[in-house]
Structure 1
């Protein structure tokens, strides 16, 4: 890797850490320059705009999410073991040493919910990809016979992601020491309901 690439990677790394704490709007190029011992003009040599930096940060966050959550789970057999691995990875992503209770995607989902543009599009697509991955894993579990065919995969994904959001709020904002225990109980209950799901009455 050339020096310019190393410098660019270091900038993105620092920007990801800062953005996870304060969001993109408060991600000051001046502060970032100080944190990386660079000048603002030096930053602009690597990123022509703040938006370009934001998109690079999002790409790195998606890569990290895949490393921590997705890839380990896909090494597990299809079925409830893979779903459990996805949830375990999700808990590590949200509350582990990498993010320390901060999730860039959740923070930006609030910051950009009413602000159209390329950055919002990337956030939306990342969240859709996550919901879709969980739903496909549920579909696989149905095919394997681990989960009832009556279970709606999209509903399961909705509830699992919701558990993660509640965990982050309880863990980071409310400071509940038992937040992860409660989240895991909620997921176990969700899994049991999915295994025993009955067809909806019309």
Structure 2
């Protein structure tokens, strides 16, 4: 086998591990990832699987990165052509609702589940989750401030409060979809966001 093919095979195997790990973690949490289970489901040895990551924590951190990549693809990158400010903010929120509504991941929002799992802990996984959440709030903050400066939102808009309420709507949407299986939840989320983002 050529070195190039060997590298490609290694990367392909690593991606298979990450895809399966993310599906499990979105539904059962990061602690639901066990090397034995993954190895059995993927037809690998435990040693072979560990060879790609080294430790369970390294695997968990890689899954956080993979989840972030899926979210970026499904939400902000889908609307990057929209003008900044309120149009982008509205489209970002719609893409976010659609992402949850379409059940891109079997357990709904990975970050909602993982944050609840790790929010009272310390360590690298908790810090990675907090960092991803901080980056997303920063992006929302940029869109909201631009909307205010362009006169698309009221000049006295409390930016941090609006971020808090948008996040609250999305947390509620994930809850009602995942726990209640409420098919009306996306419509309710869209109504709530419309009220929040109307001048």
The TM-score by the shorter chain falls in which range? Answer: over 0.9
Greater length-normalized contact order (CA 8 Å, ≥ 6 residues apart): 2
Alignment of 1:164-179 (within 5 A): 164-179=170-185
Alignment of 1:67-82 (within 5 A): 67-82=73-88
- State whether residues 55 and 119 of structure 1, in contact with CA within 8 Å, keep that contact through their aligned partners in structure 2: yes
Q: Give the drift of 1:92.
A: 2.2
Q: Which runs of 5+ in 2 are unaligned?
A: 1-6
Q: Give the drift of 1:136.
A: 0.9
Query: For residues 52 and 43 of structure 1, what CA distance do their matches in structure 2 show?
Result: 12
Map of 1:88 onto structure 2: 94
Q: Which runs of 5+ in 1 are unaligned?
A: 196-202
Q: Give the drift of 1:43.
A: 0.6
Map of 1:200 onto structure 2: none
Q: Which of residues 15, 38, 55 is equivalent to 2:44?
A: 38
Q: Give the drift of 1:101.
A: 5.4
Query: For residues 67 and 98 of structure 2, what CA distance do their matches in structure 1 show?
Result: 14
Q: Give the drift of 1:115.
A: 1.0
TM-score by length of 1: 0.91
Work out whether 1:51 is the aligned partner of 2:57. yes
TM-score by length of 2: 0.93
| Deviations 1:62-95 (CA, angstroms, capped at 9, x unpaired) | 1111111111222211222111111011112222
Map of 1:143 onto structure 2: 149
- State whether residues 28 and 107 of structure 2, in contact with CA within 8 Å, keep that contact through their aligned partners in structure 1: no
Q: Which of residues 11, 22, 26 is equivalent to 2:28?
A: 22
Equivalent pairs, count:
193
Alignment of 1:108-123 (within 5 A): 108-123=114-129
What stretches of structure 1 move > 6 A for 4+ residues in a row?
none
Shifted more, 86-95 versus 111-120: the winner is 86-95
